[in-house]
Structure 1
């Protein structure tokens, strides 16, 4: 007697019929597809034993259902992308979701190099200097009036020139008498030290640090012989072509301050009235 060979699930005989083995158990095609076939993501029908099952991230498709969501072209054996669980060919994905070049308005294809600045994107070959039209690439650039400039072109076209050395001022300029200077060029006429960041004064349109100005032009105190700058609100006393610092305007004999008081003179000395009585 011939041994029976039945479907593991419905028990119908499989003699003369197609069947599928699963875990060493035979199933008729109908039972196997009902129990184990994947459902197509597109048409929602089972993917039968005679159909090619294409899968991606736990989703399955019939071969004929595996196509671009927008243009419907087959994606079998072709590169594709997904958006919101929809299949898209590379071209449709790029047209819909890839960045557009700010210059030529064409799509920047995935994988191609692009340049970005303040929310805009460019093809690498489209990101060029407005003046020389050369690609900027990864070099420094300066935006102005919705255009981009390489640094040399920007300096030639827009940067102020130092009145002293005639070269462009890119950072750290100083304005003196409505004219631009580099910090390194704006120096004391006397000692040649930088004047940027410190107090200075001028004489005959030449700038001087306070020390040089005082040493060269300030009057000297009749008492201590050091310069009287008169700058910054400092006070001094003047009498008969002579000047004194306020702190130096004292009685020669008793050293009392004579500021705001009467005084007497004895040759080159000044005296308070009390000491003057003894003379």
Structure 2
């Protein structure tokens, strides 16, 4: 059987003699990706290669010369079973892996050790992280506690640890002005056991606003400026 047009696993490449000269140059120099070896049906050699030159490669983990298949990661060459997660010590079989301080980690361990936890769902955040109110959130989970609209990029108010959009805050949680009974969105004047809009806290006789620098007196439970 001629294997000229069939993929060959790296470890078979050096041991199989039939038609090997016709495919050696092509198969040696490229990473073999998810193909089934025509010799041994071995298919777990993603991102692995056979040495393409006579220059010996040294495994970054065991420091021994690599004579068979190997993989390249983090600028080093490794025996496939020696490229392992820093935490669980298991060989990393994934085509993608994570690093922290130059050390490789499998996806599961990287999430467990380094991923932030969403305040809303208590699950790890793998994509964009929203930091607000001293906590971390999934972008889709940082929403108004009232109407459930998304709050990323908008103004919001903190109500006992829950975020609210301005509209819901004013309609449901904002303090009401003693003078006009409307919600207070900005700074309030605290006086006479109540809160007031700055423009609503005024003399009950001359109706001029009473500022924080002015003294006032009380007449029948209503504020009056000193002049009146």
TM-score w.r.t. the length of structure 1 is 0.52
* Corresponding position of 2:62: 43
Cα distance in 1 for partners of 2:128, 2:144 equals: 18
Contact kept? 1:53, 1:61, Cα under 8 Å: yes
Structure 1 residue 183: deviation in Å? 1.0
Cα distance in 2 for partners of 1:103, 1:190 equals: 51
Contact kept? 1:47, 1:53, Cα under 8 Å: no
2:137 to 117, 122, 126: 122
Residue 149 (structure 1) aligned with residue 164 (structure 2) = yes
Contact kept? 1:114, 1:122, Cα under 8 Å: yes
Structure 1 residue 64: deviation in Å? 5.0
**Aligned residues between the structures:** 173
* Corresponding position of 1:163: 178
Residue 199 (structure 1) aligned with residue 199 (structure 2) = no
Q: Secondary structure at the match of 2:141?
A: coil
The CA RMSD measured in Å over matched residues stands at: 2.9
Cα distance in 2 for partners of 1:202, 1:152 equals: 34
Contact kept? 1:202, 1:208, Cα under 8 Å: yes
* Corresponding position of 1:4: none
Residue 208 (structure 1) aligned with residue 208 (structure 2) = no
Tell me the alpha carbon deviations over residues 156-200 of structure 1, each in whole angstroms, 9 at most, x when there is no partner: 233221122221123332244333321111123444321022122
TM-score w.r.t. the length of structure 2 is 0.62
Structure 1 residue 123: deviation in Å? 0.6
Q: Secondary structure at the match of 1:139?
A: coil
Tell me the alpha carbon deviations over residues 128-165 of structure 1, each in whole angstroms, 9 at most, x when there is no partner: 22222322212222223332222322232332211222
Q: Secondary structure at the match of 2:171?
A: helix
* Corresponding position of 1:62: 79
Q: Secondary structure at the match of 1:152?
A: helix
Tell me the alpha carbon deviations over residues 5-49 of structure 1, each in whole angstroms, 9 at most, x when there is no partner: xxxxxxxxxxxxxxxxxxxxxxxxxxx97xx5332123332123x
Contact kept? 2:81, 2:91, Cα under 8 Å: no
Cα distance in 1 for partners of 2:142, 2:105 equals: 29
Tell me the alpha carbon deviations over residues 95-151 of structure 1, each in whole angstroms, 9 at most, x when there is no partner: 331112121122211xx2221135421111111222223222122222233322223
Residue 137 (structure 1) aligned with residue 152 (structure 2) = yes
* Corresponding position of 1:100: 117
Contact kept? 1:128, 1:134, Cα under 8 Å: yes
Q: Secondary structure at the match of 1:125?
A: helix
Instruction: Provide structure 2 residue ranges, at least 5 long, that are not aligned to the other structure.
Output: 1-52
Tell me the alpha carbon deviations over residues 41-96 of structure 1, each in whole angstroms, 9 at most, x when there is no partner: 23332123x54451424x32134544545453424xx2222235432234442233
Instruction: Provide structure 1 residue ranges, at least 5 long, that are not aligned to the other structure.
Output: 1-31, 214-279
Cα distance in 2 for partners of 1:201, 1:170 equals: 26
**Which has the higher Rg, Structure 1 or Structure 2?**
1
Structure 1 residue 203: deviation in Å? 4.0
Considering Cα pairs closer than 8 Å and 6+ residues apart, tell me whether 1 or 2 has the greater RCO: 2
Kindly indicate which of the two structures has a greater share of residues assigned to strand: 1
